[in-house]
Amino acid sequence: MLLSVITTAQGVEETNISVSKSISTPLATTSPAQEWGLTSQEWTRYQQLKQGERGIWSPGLDPLTTLGVEAVTDAERRHYADLLVAKESQRVDKELAFQRAYDAAWKRRFPVLTPVGAGNASPAVPADRRLAVFVRETCAACDSLVSTLLKAGNPLDIYLVDSGGDDMRLRRWGVTHHIDIARVKRRDITLNHDAGRWEHYGRGKMPAILEKQGGTWLDVTR
């Protein structure tokens, strides 16, 4: 009888532990598909594409770009392009908002010091000089710099350091940052894969601005 009571008590205790664990574990309110604005069927197709050729060619590609590249109809491509532009816009807004919060926090704590990289807002050259600009996809300082240079009207050769040679990522970056197609067509702005140039010329700065004077590239990042 005593053994039976002990066994029963242990069962109750284990049940209580199981219930406690299930209660303490928060339930996800948003699925990955919903986070990207996709249906469950679209998410399943994305997972299938990741397991095939696209997953080998473009590992780490986001769901919207993956589905857009592999879309069958123009309507599908437009649909995923619209979703991606909206998603990228949200990302940039969040990063810029955090950058502003960071700058404000720095000023509160170190009012007489300038944070490293804070001087990258504009190049120390006239607006008619052609510049080579090295940027990354997820870089709030890069986004701010590109916006400033576009407003200044400098001819630009933009190099995306982390593009991985993926033309779609390069085009997506251009769309997200509102690069004027007319300026691209007349070669006033070019979008390029970095292909190791930043490691050679950038000296570890991100973003980095270079100007070619004679046969030499000069760092004009302030």
- Beta-strand relationship, 156-160 and 131-135: parallel
Count other Cβ atoms within 10 Å, centred on residue 198. 23
Helices (H), 70-139: 74-109
Which residues, 6 or more positions from 122, have their beta carbon under 8 angstroms from its beta carbon?
A: 145, 148, 149, 152, 222
Residues 129 and 147: their CA atoms lie apart, in Å, by: 16
- CA triple 167-123-103, angle to 5 deg: 90
Question: Rounded to 5 degrees, what are φ and ψ at 156?
Answer: -130, 140
Q: How many CB atoms lie within 10 A of CB 74?
A: 8
- In the 8-state DSSP scheme, what is residue 81? H
Residue-wise pLDDT tens for the chain (222 aa)? 444 444 444 454 444 444 444 444 444 567 899 999 999 999 999 999 999 998 888 877 889 989 998 999 999 999 998 998 888 778 767 777 777 787 788 778 777 655 544 444 445 455 567 888 999 988 888 888 898 888 888 889 999 988 888 888 888 898 888 888 888 888 899 999 887 788 777 777 888 888 876 666 777 776
The residue count for the chain: 222
| Domains of the chain, start order | 34-113 (no CATH), 118-219 (3.40.30)
What is the chain's Cα-based Rg?
25
Residue 22 tokens read as 């299930």
d(CA 101, CA 77): 36
Say whether 208 sits in a helix, a strand or coil. strand
pLDDT at position 86, please?
85
Chain segment 171-181, per-residue pLDDT in tens: 889 888 888 88
Looking at residue 158, what is its pLDDT? 93
- What's the pTM? 0.48
What's the pLDDT at 216? 67
